[in-house]
Amino acid sequence: MDETHRGGVFSEKKNSSPLDASRLSVIAVLFIKVILMIGSIL
């Protein structure tokens, strides 16, 4: 029950706070790392 409430608050925060931007930057960094790894393998 507590976890469900926390999850709801988290999803609410996610929509209004700049968490999406930070998550996008993290995904971009991971994407670049993967590309560099593939390039080094090739």
Spans of all domains in the chain: 2-41
Residue-level pLDDT at 35:
95
The pTM of this model reads: 0.47
Residue-level pLDDT at 20:
74
Residues 35, 20: Cα–Cα separation, whole Å: 22
Residues ≥6 apart with Cβ < 8 Å to 20 = 14
Residue-level pLDDT at 42:
81
Residues 25, 22: Cα–Cα separation, whole Å: 5
Residue-level pLDDT at 9:
53
pLDDT tens digit sequence for 1-40 = 455 555 555 555 555 566 677 888 899 999 999 999 999 9
